[in-house]
Structure 1
Amino acid sequence: MTKTIFITGASRGFGKIWAEAFLKRGDRVIATVRNPDSLHELANEYPSNLLVLQLDVTDKVACVDAVAKAKTHFGAIDVLINNAGYGHMGAIEELEEQEIRTQIETNVFGLLWITQAIIPIMREQKSGHIIQLSSALGIVAFPTFGIYSASKFAVEAISESLAAEVSGFGIKVTILEPNGYLTDFNASIAQSKPIALYDDVRAALQASNKAEDWGVPEATADAVLKLVDTEKPPLRLLLGKAGFEWIKYVYAERMKTWEEWYDVSVAAHGK
Structure 2
Amino acid sequence: MRTSAPSAPRTWFVTGASRGLGRAFAVAALERGDRVVAAARSIVPTDFDERHGDRLLALTLDVTDRAAVFAAVDTAIQRFGQLDVVVNNAGTMSSGMVEEFTEAEARAQFEVNFFGALWVSQAVLPHLRARGAGHIVQISSIAALGGFPSTGMYSASKFALEGMSEALAMEAATFGVKVSMVQPGGYWTDLYTSMASTTPMETYGPLRAELERQWADGSIDSEPRLAAEAVVKLVDSDDPPLRLLLGSMVYDLAFDISRRRMDTWASWEPVSRAAEHAVPAP
Deviates more, 1:223-232 or 1:61-70: 223-232
**Paired residues of 2:184 and 2:227 also in contact (CA < 8 A):** no
Give the aligned residue type for 1:243.
V
Report the equivalent of 1:253. Answer: 260
Unmatched 5+ stretches in structure 1: none
Decide whether the 8 Å contact of 1:43 with 1:50 is kept in 2: no
Q: Equivalent of 2:37, from 30, 33, 58? A: 30
Which 4+ runs in 1 deviate beyond 4 A? 210-213
Q: 2:269 aligns with which of 249, 257, 262?
A: 262
Determine what percentage of the aligned residue pairs are the same residue.
Answer: 44
Q: By how many angstroms is 1:51 displaced?
A: 0.3
**Pairwise CA distance, 1:167:** 0.6
Partner of 1:206: 212
Unaligned runs of 5+ in 2: 1-7
1:149-195 per-position Cα deviation (integer Å, ceiling 9, x unaligned):
00000111111111111112110010000012221111111100111
| Structure 1 residue 235 corresponds to structure 2 residue 238 | no
**When you count helix as a share of all residues, which structure comes out higher?**
1
| Structure 1 partner of 2:192 | 186
**Corresponding letter in the other structure for 1:78:** D
What pairs with 1:9-20 in structure 2 (closer than 5 Å)? 9-20=16-27
Residue by residue over 1:79-129, the C-alpha shift from the partner in whole angstroms, topping out at 9 and shown as x without a partner, is: 100000111110011111100011111111111001001000001111000
In the TM superposition, what is the alpha-carbon distance from 1:52 to its structure 2 partner?
A: 0.6
Letter in 1 for 2:39: T
Give the superposed CA RMSD.
1.4
1:217 lines up with 2:224 in the alignment: yes
Any conservation in 2 of the 1:122–1:128 contact (CA below 8 Å)?
A: yes
Q: Does the residue aligned with 2:58 lie in a helix, a strand or coil? A: strand
Is the contact between residue 139 and residue 247 of structure 1 (CA under 8 Å) also seen in structure 2? yes
- Would the aligned equivalents of 1:141 and 1:149 in 2 still touch at CA under 8 Å? yes
Helix, strand or coil for the counterpart of 2:193?
helix
Give the Cα–Cα distance (whole angstroms) in 2 for the partners of residues 44 and 217 of structure 1: 21
Amino acid at match of 2:221: W
Answer yes or no: is 1:196 the counterpart of 2:202. Answer: yes
Normalised TM-score (structure 2): 0.92
Give the 3 Å change call, closer, same or farther, for CA 245–211 of structure 1 in structure 2: farther
Q: Is the 8 A contact 1:213 1:242 kept in 2?
A: no
2:18, 2:47 within 8 Å by CA — same for their partners in 1? no
Of 5-14 and 179-188, the range deviating more from structure 2 = 179-188
- Which position in structure 2 is the counterpart of 1:87? 93
Q: Does structure 2 retain, via aligned residues, the 8 Å contact 1:43–1:52? A: no
- Per the normalisation by structure 1, the TM-score is 0.95
| C-alpha contact (below 8 Å) 1:35/1:54 kept by paired residues | yes
Q: Which residue of 1 aligns with 2:66?
A: 60
> What does residue 121 of structure 1 align with?
127
SS at match of 1:141: coil
The secondary structure found in structure 2 opposite 1:154 is helix
Please tell me whether residue 134 in structure 1 is matched to residue 148 in structure 2.
no
Instruction: Tell me the number of residue pairs that the alignment of Structure 1 and Structure 2 aligns.
Output: 270
